[in-house]
Amino acid sequence: MLERPEVARGTNFGDVRGIIMLLPLEAQPAPGKTAPANISVGVPKRPAVIVGADADGLGIARCLGKAGVPVILVDTDARRPAMHSRYVSPVLVKALTGPALIEGLLGLRSRIDHRPLLFLTADPQVRAISEQRERLAGAFYIRLPEQRCIRQLLHKLGFQHFAERHGFPVPRAVGVSDKNDFVKFAELQFPAVIKPGNKELYFGDKAPRAQRVWSREEAVAACQVILREARDLIVQEWIEGRESDIYFCLQYRGENGLTVSSFVGRKLRCWPPQTGSTAACTAAPEVESELRHLTKAFFDKAQMVGMCSMEFKRDQRTGKFFMIEPTVGRTDWQEEVAAINGVNIPLDAYCYEAGIPLPVGDRHSHSVRWIYPPSYFRSVARSALRAGFLRRRRLPALRTQNPCWSSDDLVPSAIFLLEWLRKLRSPVRWREFLCQRGQVSSPAPVCGTQCSLEPAEPQPASPESAALDTRSPHGTLHI
């Protein structure tokens, strides 16, 4: 049984049973919406469990819920907007990683009649589920590669070595764990970018997400500061280009690496500008063939299955695409952009694993832009600080959709709005609105190099490096 979770003070949610609404689960499409023709609506179906109620979790819930799939959304905070979506049955757990997540999922499973499909939204969840796959065997359906594949591809240097070994295009990079590694900088051309090898170092405030350096001397000085707290860094050559030169290929891969669903898009804005997550993106049909082929070739070699994606950056000088980082075992932050452009990857994954014929695709003739408003408007405000910048950099006139607003799911939208209004009442929040989080504790000022609008570096990844045996069979985890 799930234990009663701890709810923040001042929040009146009543009995937790008012939040946990699990049974019976019926597949009911939203009013005015029609489910895909080959999904029978009104019949109890295998539920989908989504771990993480961030904006991407909400987007996935809508991708599935609008097609009539019963959705359970798992998080630690009942106040999060996604937990109040009409498409989900919310469930509280004590943690979204580690043993507490496993206990919470097993407790949830005891309340469900049908074995559900599991969707993950963050790297720590992937690690926790993968490491406990034997304990969770038989509880959920999820398709994951073998553990050593996850460990290597979630670690920046592990991914770098694997890509170099198999001849895939990646920027040159070196690993740094102490000052003796500084001699490796002679192998690089500057400018470069410093990143933590393990993403948790960033979330633990031990290392910057990414810090651009212009010379070997600057790289040495920056690494000396960061190494005091984080002894797992990678220094990678900078690929010249703007934020709109960053592309991605989202995929779901089935048995033996079969490409079940695939979508290629490009970023339009990031936040923070040089180094952050997607603030705006859209479809990129003009490069779909090339990037889909590169992504498939890489994941075939890695023997990847399940949810995955690859991020690319195109060098403005040569037009060549470089692989920047993979996403493994989980959905991407901007996964919903594929669905709003006619490729519903979460629904395709659900149908494939449930043995239901895949819905007929409906690729739009005109691309739809996905934006995340908090990051998007911060990016626009930063751009406005540079004289004439907005006139030089207008985004294409596209129809826009975002996860924070849905006309048929208004409660999360109202909660998002109230949160933003509350935050913007604080002068400190206004500074945060315009200046991103500091890169590293050093004598250099935070704003200046940090607040200049430069080409964006894509998101980091995580865990320890481990040897990937490409001769091993595909790992399928049905837990």
In our burial notation (b when 16+ CB lie closer than 10 A, e otherwise), range 332-357 reads bbbbbbbbbbebbbbbbbbbbbeebe
pLDDT of residue 467: 39
Q: Does pLDDT of 419 surpass 60? A: yes
Distance of CA 256 to the CA centre of its chain: 24
pLDDT of residue 431: 61
Model confidence at 66, pLDDT cuts 50, 70, 90, reads very high
CA–CA separation, 307 vs 57, rounded Å?
14
Quote the tokens at residue 338. Answer: 């594929």
Q: Does pLDDT of 225 surpass 50? A: yes
The mean per-residue pLDDT over the stretch 405-412 comes to: 90
The mean per-residue pLDDT over the stretch 374-396 comes to: 70
Residues of the chain with pLDDT > 70, as a percent, come to 76
Burial class (CB in 10 A: 0-12, 13-18, 19+), 227: middle
CA–CA separation, 324 vs 226, rounded Å?
22
Q: Does pLDDT of 436 surpass 80? A: no
Higher-scoring residue by pLDDT: 375, 50: 50
- Spell out the residues 6+ positions from residue 31 whose beta carbon is closer than 8 angstroms to its own: 408
pLDDT digits (tens, 9 = 90+) for 133-151: 988 888 999 999 999 999 9
- Spell out the residues 6+ positions from residue 201 whose beta carbon is closer than 8 angstroms to its own: 207, 229, 230, 232
Give the predicted TM-score (pTM) of the model: 0.81
Radius of gyration of the chain from Cα atoms? 22
Q: Which of 9-18, 226-235, 357-366 has the highest mean pLDDT?
A: 226-235
Model confidence at 58, pLDDT cuts 50, 70, 90, reads very high
CA–CA separation, 74 vs 92, rounded Å?
6
Single-letter amino acid code for the residue at 428: V
Torsion of CA 298, 174, 271, 363, to 10 degrees: -10
Q: How far is CA 24 from CA 20, 105, 108, 273, 427, in A?
A: 12, 18, 14, 46, 47
Model confidence at 399, pLDDT cuts 50, 70, 90, reads confident
